[in-house]
Amino acid sequence: MKIAIIGTVGVPAQYGGFETLVENILDHTGGEVCYEVYCSGKIYKENRAKQYKNARLVYLPFKANGWQSIPYDVASIFRALFSSDKLLILGTSGCVVLPIIRLFSKKEIIVNIDGLEHRREKWGKLAKRFLKLSESMAVRFANVVIADNVAIQQYVKTEYGKDAVVVEYGGNHVLEKGNDTFLDKLRLLKQDFAFTVCRIEPENNIHVILEAFKQMPNEKLVAVGNWHKSVYGQQLRQQYGDCENIYMLDAIYDIQSLNGLRENCRYYVHGHSAGGTNPSLVEAMSLGLPVVAFDVVYNRETTENKAFYFQDGKSLIKTVASLSADPLNANAAAMKEVAQRRYRWDIIVKKYEDLFKSIR
């Protein structure tokens, strides 16, 4: 069985949730499926391998993000129709073409619709309308819709009257021991700080987290993200960069360096309010970190209502003030148990491959 994977930057993965998903599919495949992975020729400009972890790589001359993600995904879909048995499309950008595909092809198409992209604040009205249209085309014309969270599954049922299959996200790829490079550089002690990592976007509530910690000068926070990528991030860095208890670090892509901070923090703060099962959250859970999460249905579903939660800056301050060793240790154990039961890559990949085999 040949499965085309469409919608990622490509592999070897450099960053990104879907890219990590593909890496782990290739690592944990049962061997009955042959994969063809579509990659961005704009990113992989040199030393383009034809094979990677027994998968065939196909390069197209587009970026995988921004407006170019549309022609990139559309071109990948058309090409994959002639080389693969079934298509796994990650994200919905190119799914506006599915009604046309259905006029001449009965190939099975599986779409992971990701995290309701059209609701993100970073998009303008026109972009949101397009993203909602592409989502609706994905749901209507795919053979199977994958939701990575029960809340997304319920949304698909309510919005479109269609059943979606829940396949979550793995986090145990982060279990590699970290190094203490940043810990030493920042002169931080183990268990002496809170930690958060995210894309610096309004729906991740980083402004709420920073303001709350500004009002808690005895609580240290290490915040990692792409601050320079937006006006929003630049303004936050200017506003909070001088706070002595807040360490604002640029994005860290080396997992050992990132783990050196994560595994030594006292607790993890997760501000995401959009999306489904957020990779950074299940990674923190897999590391056995106590979790203080923004109170939305996605995060409650992911943590099985066993984390600490906050709705705004005031409730975050109140929650942090209530934390002590016993509840933190109990929460860490609960997060680890949920992650080991639900968010291991061997479990996730088996769900995908069982799904591929079951579609007729």
For 68-93, write each residue's pLDDT tens digit: 888 999 999 999 999 999 999 999 98
Do residues 258 and 173 make contact, with C-beta atoms less than 8 angstroms apart? no
For 12-51, write each residue's pLDDT tens digit: 887 778 999 999 999 999 888 999 999 998 888 887 889 9
Q: Which residue in 62, 92, 96 sits closest to 164, CA to CA?
A: 92
Residue appearing with tokens 């923004």: 294
Do residues 200 and 229 make contact, with C-beta atoms less than 8 angstroms apart? yes
Are 154 and 182 in a shared domain? Answer: no
pLDDT surpassing 60 at residue 53? yes
Are 122 and 178 in a shared domain? Answer: no
For 173-206, write each residue's pLDDT tens digit: 888 777 888 888 888 888 999 999 998 999 999 9
For 292-308, write each residue's pLDDT tens digit: 999 999 999 999 999 99
Which residues, 6+ apart, have CB-to-CB distance to 351 below 8 Å?
167
Are 89 and 130 in a shared domain? Answer: yes
- List the CATH number of the domain containing 166: 3.40.50.2000
Are 181 and 320 in a shared domain? Answer: yes
Ramachandran quadrant class, 5 (left: phi over 0; alpha: psi -120 to 50; beta: rest): beta
Instruction: Name the domain count of the chain.
Output: 2
Are 331 and 354 in a shared domain? Answer: no
Are 10 and 143 in a shared domain? Answer: yes
Q: Which residue in 88, 116, 62, 129 sits closest to 357, CA to CA?
A: 88
Are 148 and 183 in a shared domain? Answer: no
Are 284 and 318 in a shared domain? Answer: yes
User: Which range marks the domain in which residue 223 is found?
Assistant: 174-342
Do residues 34 and 2 make contact, with C-beta atoms less than 8 angstroms apart? yes
